[in-house]
Structure 1
Amino acid sequence: MYCFIQTLTALNLGHNGIGDIRAQHLGNALQNNKTLTILNLSFTQIRAVGAQHLAMALRNNTTLTTLVLRNNSIGDIGAQHLAYALRNNMTLTALNLAITKIGDFGAHYLADALQYNTTLARLDLSNNKIGDVGAHHLADALQYNTTLTSLDLSNNKIACVGKKQLADALRNNKTLTTLSLWDQRLR
């Protein structure tokens, strides 16, 4: 796969049973890839270990701008690995982590990364388990982040307290143009 990837700019591997082992091979191939800009790994059975391998690739990769991990069970630990990579990654502009079982701890790690990252413009965290604590951390990050333009927190567990904290953060944030909070049911 390594040689094949060297000519592609977009790769959609969604709905394939990639899992953590193949994610490791994919991560190894991405480390030195100079052409791929879009990678869709939706519905690929990747968990925290696979996210860790992809995160290691993000630390070195200088071309990937969009990563879609929608509907994979990476959880808070996978989010932590990706967050560490985001702190120093200078090319990723869109990250889709919808339906990945991320809760407040994962949101905390990602919020911390947003305070340092200077390229990520779109972050989709919809359909996860983020509550008021996670919203609080993301609200803090929005006060410092100057690149995020779209944040989707739809269908999480954010109640009035978390929504208010996010609204208050928008007073100081001049770059966020889209914030989605629809269907916040307490689960």
Structure 2
Amino acid sequence: MTVSVVWAREPIPTGPSVFLAGPTPRSEAVASWRPQAIHALDRAWKKPDTLHVLVPENPGGLRETEYEDQIEWEWEGLDRASAILFWIPRDLRTLPGFTTNVEFGLVARSGRAVLGCPPDCPNPERNRYLVRLARRFGTPVTQTLPETVAAAMKIVSGADITRQSQAAHVWVE
């Protein structure tokens, strides 16, 4: 019942993990949504092994200005995560999420993504395409952060079961 936060550019451990995808603040005046997600994941995680929460921010909450390493870290995290939690409180002025759109398109078919789009964000109409894409590929779509966390936990639990059964299958052979 432990949650470990893995910040941008830190080594990504093996084991159950959730990547927190979505817009990152570009100014100290804008609060990150990720601390709330980390707290909700911590409360929801009930398994004995550690859940690694992959956070594409620095511990202070902002993205690095030089981000070649950041991009590589994010791609690796997206590839390795058990679940990818997209939370998109779209605000074109402060949290535009343009990179998030691309990231979602890359993983929408993976079976590891969940899309959270609050209907009361400043620009919810800018999430319509992503919602439609998610529904096309059977990706869970939610409207609140707690619902999004719950859907991500189901994916992680399913990933654990799949990995365990695959390991058992390999062992039997």
Q: Given the two structures, how large is their TM-score scaled by the length of structure 1? A: 0.38
- TM-score normalised by L of structure 2: 0.40
